[in-house]
Amino acid sequence: MSSELGRLIVVSGPTASGKSTLCHRLVQRSTVDFSVSATTRAPRKGEKDGYDYHFVTEQQFQEWVASGAFLEYAEVHGKHYGTLRKHVEASLAKGHDIVLEVDVQGAEQLKDCGLPIISIFVRPPSLEILRQRLRDRGTETEEQMNLRLAVVEKEMTFAKDYMHQVINDDFSRMEAEVEDLLGYTKENA
Ligand code: 5GP
């Protein structure tokens, strides 16, 4: 890692843009953590509580909102998602970078949190390819998929507010680009 202080690596992008895969690759490093968010949405097939998300009730989520447990939180696709402050602070205190996969509203709130941030927006090569990837993933119903596609174009208008934009035309190429801009080398992978 190029910096002694930990940083918040904020990653956003449309659904099925490849941002989750990118985040999981980055956190394979021993000094890079993943911020496990809380959410009120139901787990998808294969997702594990405490690993992919902390899956919580609306009541639990609202208690955490009230107690200031979230560094940021937002409503996305009709469900709540939030970054737990204590996870982020623990990582930074260790000098680790921490990857936050958040939507555009979350990234906007994090801009003013006073912590060192690098923000990255992952763009799909085209909307048509994104649509196809989403169909191939097959984890959403047609109705859920349409809801997600409806917000994609709006999300893309926020890309310019990020410090970096990368295009997922080829995953390995994009991953190398991100490693480079974060100052990561293959040696610390
Ligand atoms: P999904 O339900 O597909 O896992 O996530 C839906 C959206 O919520 C994605 O854009 C994801 O990046 C975002 N998201 C996940 N966790 C958080 C969070 O803690 N805060 C915010 N603001 N967005 C999040």
CA of 187 to the centre of ligand 1 (A): 30
* Residue 2 pLDDT exceeds 80: no
Whether 103 contacts 83, CB under 8 Å: no
Put residue 95 in one of left, alpha, beta given phi > 0 → left and psi -120 to 50 → alpha: left
Return the structure tokens found at 157. 């208008």
What's 8-188's CATH class?
A: alpha beta
Whether 153 contacts 171, CB under 8 Å: no
pLDDT tens across 115-171, in order?
999 999 999 888 888 888 888 888 778 888 888 788 888 899 999 999 999 999 999
| In the chain, where the domains are located | 8-188
Per-residue pLDDT at 186: 67
Per-residue pLDDT at 77: 82
* Residue 1 pLDDT exceeds 90: no
What is the biggest distance separating any 2 CA atoms in the chain, rounded to whole angstroms?
46
Under the banding of pLDDT at 50, 70 and 90, the label for residue 96 is very high
* Residue 48 pLDDT exceeds 90: yes
- What does DSSP assign to residue 94? T
* Residue 187 pLDDT exceeds 60: no
pLDDT tens across 12-32, in order?
998 888 999 999 999 999 999
- Minimum-distance ligand 1 atom for the alpha carbon of 19: 12
Residue 173 dihedral angles phi and psi, to the nearest 5°:
-65, -45
* Residue 98 pLDDT exceeds 70: yes
Q: Candidates 37, 79, 123, 145: which one to mutate for ligand 1, based on the most atoms within 8 Å of Cβ?
A: 37
Per-residue pLDDT at 4: 67
Residue owning tokens 């956003």? 12
Q: Is 155 in the pocket of ligand 1 (CB under 6 A)?
A: no
Under the banding of pLDDT at 50, 70 and 90, the label for residue 3 is very low
Q: Candidates 55, 99, 101: which one to mutate for ligand 1, based on the most atoms within 8 Å of Cβ?
A: 101
